[in-house]
Structure 1
Amino acid sequence: MASLKEIKKRIASVNSTRKITSAMKMVASSKLHHAQVAIQNMLPYENLLEHILKAFLVSTPEAHVSFETPTRKVHKVALVVYSSNSSLCGGFNANVLKLMSQIINEYKSSGVTQFVIYPIGRKVAERVQKKGMSSGGDFLELAEKPNARECANIAQELTDRYNRGEIDKVELVYHHFKSAGSQILTRRQFLPIDLSTESIGDMNDRDLSSNVVTAKAQEYLRKKAANKQRAKENIVPLNDDFIVEPDLPTVLKSLIPKLLNLMIYTALLDSNASEHAARMVAMQTATDNADDIIRELNLQYNKSRQAAITSELLDIVGGTVNN
């Protein structure tokens, strides 16, 4: 059995660790709040732009967009993979890297051998460098501070390479932020553009109202959501009798880059919020585990202390009887 001094030292050590994890949890909670506000401010623009563009393209048969051509044979694939620059966020980075490897193996099995990875985040960049894969650039700062202009530059580079035939398909790999306690690993096609209007709004199922991640609170929210009937908005195609000014190519040339830029930026905001939520959950779990360990150590300390006192009393009583 450990001595009282050793137990007391370990209690102090666990207490110090608990203070760190508790502070990191509060920092992650604050950053998550800012990330949620950023998503909330972007949502109205995202919803309307996606609806207008897709309904416009679907209802305009004469519209010809090179980005929507599905018949091109895939020889080279680009993956935009989002991770974090730091650790201590549970399985956030491991899950992204695992899905990236699965996608690459899937394409290799179908005959594709050329890949280029756009690593947004240090963890993906390290994996790309370690495996010797082709990298599309350095975007470490973007993972910490989401920037719409930088995302637009990435989208422009990808579309230019797609138009030149250097890339045949582009996919995004990231965590879709659904709520503080739920982040969904997502694989989304970037190029060619998916014009189906049935999926409009499917990615806008985020709960931005709460940062609660405890098990009891999540169970309560799930039951509340199950009992509440949410009427789904039916996407009604816009009037197909468009008056296009100045002309169709000019309008498409303006709308399509906006949608592509928005897809890159939205995925970045989702990944950023998911990272902070995952870190908040991980630090909350670590803090709870530290509380459990401290309780066990205090119980062990008290038992050892009581045993030592009892032993001393027995020695005193035994000595008195002998005398």
Structure 2
Amino acid sequence: MPSLKEIKTRIASVNSTRKITSAMKMVASSKLHHAQVAIENMLPYEHMLEHILKTFLVSTPDTDTPYDVVRPVRKVALIVFSSNSSLCGGFNANIIKMMQNTLEDYYSKGLTKDDILVYPIGRKIAEKVAKMGLKSIGRYPDLADKPNSETCRQIASEVEQKWLSGEVDKVELIYHHFKSAGSQILTRKTFLPIDLEAELYADNERDLSSNIATQKAQQYLKEHGKSSSSKPKENVVPLNDNFIVEPDLKTVLTSLVPKQLHLMVYTSLLDSNASEHAARMVAMQTATDNADDLLRSLNLQYNKSRQAAITSELLDIVGGSVNS
């Protein structure tokens, strides 16, 4: 049985760890709020661009663009999003596992490591790609911590040129789609050739007004039929659907689709960034709760040991007085 001093030392150690996890949870919560604001500010542009593309596709479904040509897959590029740091639960492990499953899928189709290019966004995935001996195109550790639209545009433009020139035949995105603070969906999505209809009808419903991430809180809201979102949903109302296209629809789509590609990379980055902070917030909250449980157990054990020691001393005193 541990001594009182050992138990007291462990209580102090757990208390110190709890302070750290509690502070990290609050920091992650603050960063999550900023990430949610960034997504919310981007959504109106996303919705309007999707509306314009949808209108064009509905009016001329047989429009021929160079971005929807499906060809045999001999070279592949993967854009994979992870974090730079740990302590975010299974966030990075899930991304790495999905990337490995994707690689196995292509290996089974006859491709080799030399046929696959990886754009690693985040230090964790960059380290894994280097360890696996895959071809890595650039390193973007700063982008994982501080999302930047211009860098995303450059990545999208570079990948677009590789695809148009035939250097790669297919491009995929692997990231976490942020739905709410308590729900992040591991996603593998085709980037090129782009399927605009699939993108337009994708599940884009989000809850960006709440930081509720615990399972009990989510279950409570579900049972009581209340949404954790305090803001009503706003639909983007177009000013006019009767677009006048100059010089022609194919030229306009050739200009709009690269903007959509840029938006897909930037949205994936914002999703991954928000999902990382949400995962870290949940992990640190769980660690804090576990520390509280451990402290209660240690305090109970300390009190029992202390009471046993006092009782033993009393018995020794009483026994000594009787003998004398």
- Whether TM exceeds 0.5 here: the answer is yes
Q: Deviations over 1:183-242 (max 9, x none)?
A: 100011110011326x625332111111012222111222345899x99x9xxxx97x85
- Alpha carbons 1:173, 1:187 under 8 Å: kept: yes
Alpha-carbon separation, structure 2, partners of 1:269 and 1:37: 10
Check if 1:258 corresponds to 2:269.
Answer: no
* In 2: Cα distance, 1:257 partner to 1:53 partner: 12
Give the aligned partner of residue 275 of structure 1. Answer: 276
Q: Which residue of 1 aligns with 2:200?
A: 200
Residue in structure 2 matched with residue 44 of structure 1 by the alignment: 44
What does the per-residue CA deviation read over 1:104-124, in whole Å, with 9 as the maximum and x for residues that have no partner? Answer: 111111122210000000011
Contact 2:4 2:306 in 1 (8 A): yes
> Secondary structure of 2:284's match?
helix
Provide the rounded CA distance (Å) in 2 between the counterparts of 1:149 and 1:170: 20
Cα deviation code 1:100-152 (max 9, x no counterpart) = 00011111111222100000000110011011100111111100100000000
Where in structure 2 are the equivalents of 1:1-323 lying within 5 Å?
1-61=1-61, 63-70=63-70, 72-113=71-112, 114-196=115-197, 200-225=200-225, 243-323=244-324
- Tell me how far apart the structure 2 counterparts of residues 165 and 220 of structure 1 sit (CA, whole Å): 52
Paired residues of 1:58 and 1:195 also in contact (CA < 8 A): no
Opposite residue 221 of structure 1, the aligned amino acid is: L
Task: Write the distance in 1 (CA, Å) between the matches of 2:170 and 2:179.
Answer: 26
> CA-to-partner distance for each residue in 1:14-52, whole Å, 9 max, x for gaps?
000000000000000000000000000111111111221
How far apart, CA to CA, are the structure 1 residues paired with 2:29 and 2:267?
20
Compared CA separation, residues 224 and 157, structure 1 to 2 (3 A): farther
When structure 1 is superposed on structure 2, of 110-119 and 35-44 the one drifting more is: 110-119
TM-score of the superposition, structure 2-length normalised? 0.92
The gaps in structure 2 that reach 5 residues or longer are: none
In 2 relative to 1, CA 224–201 (structure 1 residues): closer, same or farther, beyond 3 Å?
farther
| One-letter amino acid matched to 1:94 | A
Per-residue deviation, residues 236-274 of structure 1 (Å, max 9, x unmatched):
xx97x8531133343123211110000000000000000
Runs of 4+ aligned structure 1 residues displaced above 3 Å come to 224-228
Q: 1:227 to 1:267 in 2, by over 3 A?
A: closer
Identity over aligned pairs, percent: 68
- Taking structure 1 as the reference length, the TM-score comes to 0.92
CA distance in 2, matches of 1:226, 1:19: 33
